[in-house]
Chains A and B, each alone.
Chain A
Amino acid sequence: MAYEMIMKPMTFKITWKDGLVITPWERPIGPTHGPSDPSLPSGSPVKDALDLAQDVPHSPLDQFAIKSFLDMRVGYLYISFTNPTFFMLLTLGLVFLLFHLVTKKGGGKSVPNAWQSLVELIYDFVPNLVNEQIGGHVKQKFFPCISVTFTFSLFCNLQGMIPYSFIVTSHFLITLGLSFSIFIGITLVGFQRNGLHFLSFSLPAGVPLPLAPFLVLLELIPHSFRALSSGIRLFANMMAGHSSVKILSGSAWTMLCMNDLFYFIGDLGPLCLVLALTGLELGVAISQAHVSTISICIYLNDATNLHQTFFIVIFL
């Protein structure tokens, strides 16, 4: 009995008294409309449910569905205004609004208030990363690109934590587009800066010559994987985190409503778990933006400096 009480809310199955088991998100095979099966007993809730069910059941992955608001089509290209488009514009609007409100009328005060501290924190975060990771004298040229990437992924991740909002970076296409474009950019920068010596970075020093072509070809595989890895990491973290929260909150809702005597004061266990998981999700949102930015800096370092390290000796 206790086992059923714990395990039963974790599933989404509905078992009616005549033994029919329905999972709410099973995609219906066959007609969902029309008269229900006449062999079902007439007072049965199954019959009523099937009669009333006119829309597709819900799944925990439905929060990632892309709906288009305005369909626009140019030949083979679909340039419709969709869910991710709207939320990306909303993110950009939020970033611009925040930065504008802090820096208007001459650019803030010397003693910063809380909003200015926050903006300064976000703005100062990237030059520290760039200085630290990329050696040599070319570092500050890449600061705007990396700063925009970091701010975009940070605000997109955080904005997805708002309930009933849409997480832009939880789509593989968006994060892959970002990471792939940056990878192509880094490769181009490497070739532009170092010429064909760029290929020498895949060859460590002191390797005998017959082994060289084999090593270079083998090195191409992890190098190309970098294009995918940043995108997949961000996508997997966001999607898995939000799916977990959705599933657990469905279970929490079921358990909250389970008590017949006091409605809505049921078991609070899964609700505390959802609270803790949401806190973890917030931490993961910020930390994944940080991790993707650091990995971009590391790839840039590899491309421009070719495994060389500059020893800076400071005489105090």
Chain B
Amino acid sequence: MTRMEKFEMLEGAKSMGAGAATIASAGAAVGIGNVFSSLIHSVARNPSLAKQLFGYAILGFALTEAIALFALMMVFLILFVF
């Protein structure tokens, strides 16, 4: 195998690894939907607390998004570092 062929195989393997690692953002998507669904339910119960509840929802969104970004970080690690 020539050097360019080995290169291309490694490149293909990296792409496959990156694609597989992106599946983890599915869990994060479910989590974020959960957070905002709870926000809608609780605002429907008690609309006077809407502002405070929205603050809590943004906090929950940021924490859940962090997990999705852990997965994205692994993707970049696989693609560009190895």
Q: Residues on A close to B: CB < 8 A?
A: 20-21, 23, 25-26, 29-30, 59-61, 232-233, 236-237, 239-241, 243-244, 284, 287-288, 290-291, 294
Do A29 and B3 touch across chains, with their CB atoms under 8 A apart? yes
Do A284 and B65 touch across chains, with their CB atoms under 8 A apart? yes
Compute how far the CA of A233 lies from the CA of B70 in the bound complex, rounded to whole angstroms: 8
Smallest beta-carbon distance B25→chain A, Å: 11
Smallest beta-carbon distance A60→chain B, Å: 7
| B59 CB contacts on chain A under 8 angstroms | 287, 290-291, 294
Residue of B nearest to A60 (CB): B80
Can you report 13 residue pairs joining A to B where beta carbons are below 8 Å apart?
A26-B7, A60-B76, A60-B80, A61-B76, A236-B66, A236-B70, A239-B73, A240-B73, A240-B76, A284-B62, A284-B65, A291-B66, A294-B59
B52-82 Cβ-contact flags toward A at 8 Å (1 or 0): 0000001101110110011011001000110
Q: Count B-side interface residues using an 8 Å CB cutoff.
A: 19
Do B62 and A290 touch across chains, with their CB atoms under 8 A apart? yes
Compute how far the CA of A244 lies from the CA of B71 in the bound complex, rounded to whole angstroms: 13
Do B81 and A240 touch across chains, with their CB atoms under 8 A apart? no
Do B65 and A237 touch across chains, with their CB atoms under 8 A apart? yes
B20-63 Cβ-contact flags toward A at 8 Å (1 or 0): 00000000000000000000000000000000000000110111
| A23 CB contacts on chain B under 8 angstroms | 11
Residue of B nearest to A244 (CB): B72
Question: Which of A21, A243, A291 contacts B76 (CB under 8 A)?
Answer: A243
Do B63 and A237 touch across chains, with their CB atoms under 8 A apart? no
Residue of A nearest to B15 (CB): A11
Residue of A nearest to B76 (CB): A243
Compute how far the CA of A227 lies from the CA of B4 in the bound complex, rounded to whole angstroms: 44
Compute how far the CA of A145 lies from the CA of B68 in the bound complex, rounded to whole angstroms: 30
Smallest beta-carbon distance B72→chain A, Å: 4
Do A21 and B8 touch across chains, with their CB atoms under 8 A apart? yes
Compute how far the CA of A29 lies from the CA of B81 in the bound complex, rounded to whole angstroms: 15
Question: Which of A25, A287, A288 contacts B80 (CB under 8 A)?
Answer: A25
Do A236 and B69 touch across chains, with their CB atoms under 8 A apart? yes
Residue of A nearest to B70 (CB): A236
Do A59 and B11 touch across chains, with their CB atoms under 8 A apart? no
Residue of A nearest to B80 (CB): A61
| B63 CB contacts on chain A under 8 angstroms | 233, 291
Q: Which 4 A-B pairs have the closest CB atoms?
A: A240-B72, A240-B69, A287-B62, A233-B66
Residue of B nearest to A239 (CB): B73
| A240 CB contacts on chain B under 8 angstroms | 69, 72-73, 76
Compute how far the CA of A59 lies from the CA of B59 in the bound complex, rounded to whole angstroms: 33
Compute how far the CA of A123 lies from the CA of B44 in the bound complex, rounded to whole angstroms: 33
| A237 CB contacts on chain B under 8 angstroms | 65-66, 69
Compute how far the CA of A59 lies from the CA of B76 in the bound complex, rounded to whole angstroms: 11
